[in-house]
Amino acid sequence: VKCELGGSIAYFTLNRPEDGNKLTAGILAALADAAVLLHGRPDLRVAVFSGEGALLCGGGDLSGDACVGLMPQGGAESCAALITNAVETGSLSWEQAADVPKLLLPRLWRALASVPQFSICLANGSAMGEGLGLVACCDYTVALEGSFFSPGDITQGLVPAVVMPYILAKMGTGATKRLFCTCENMTVQRAITQGLVDEVAPSLEEARKLVASLCERLTE
């Protein structure tokens, strides 16, 4: 994830266009760092999230355990010792212990959704699965014409439940239930009517102009 600070604005860009900016361990760890930075910088007024390439985010990374990227650096051994102790004392089963890294994911999304800055998502392309979290956790979204928004292949049991509360807050109960039950590949025009997207731009250049204009108003 590229991070640029300009004046009172922070820009974060998912930078793995070769695999659709999927939420790999590295990207999740970088987003966690971004949340920590924003919560500790009250001088920053606006945070802008976007992606490099054709997609905003292709969803979760299914090639490995991306959640491990959220484990504290250098703390894996101590964390393993705590888990072992919890199992031995009966607080956890080994089956539950296997999911400990995943327990950090809700904290990441909550941290991103609660940053003190006004957050903007510049959706440079489509977002799928957990990638919808980047859209739903931001206060305002400008999306490119032709973008689609999909919860992913739920029929295969891949439910992005961790970001569902934020989608629910944006779209409401009925629309969110319909989206997840039908696996709809929602157009940007429909996303606007459902409250997920705020503005549409015909090109990336125009989208950046809209975001720049909004940032200017927010930092006056």
User: Each residue of 130-141: pLDDT tens digit?
Assistant: 999 999 999 999
- The 3-state DSSP class for residue 51 equals strand
- Report the mean per-residue pLDDT for the chain: 87
**Domain-located, residue 100:** no
Can you list the alpha helix ranges (DSSP code H) found in the chain?
25-39, 76-88, 94-97, 104-113, 132-136, 164-171, 173-182, 188-193, 204-218
**Domain-located, residue 126:** yes
Question: Number of C-alpha atoms within 13 angstroms, CB side, residue 17?
Answer: 10
pLDDT confidence bin for 29, thresholds 50/70/90: confident
**Domain-located, residue 103:** no
**Domain-located, residue 101:** no
pLDDT of 159 reads 83
Q: What pTM value is reported for the model?
A: 0.84
Tell me the CATH number at 36.
3.90.226.10
User: How many structural domains does the chain have?
Assistant: 1
**Domain-located, residue 105:** no
Q: Are 140 and 211 in contact (CB under 8 A)?
A: no
**Domain-located, residue 123:** yes
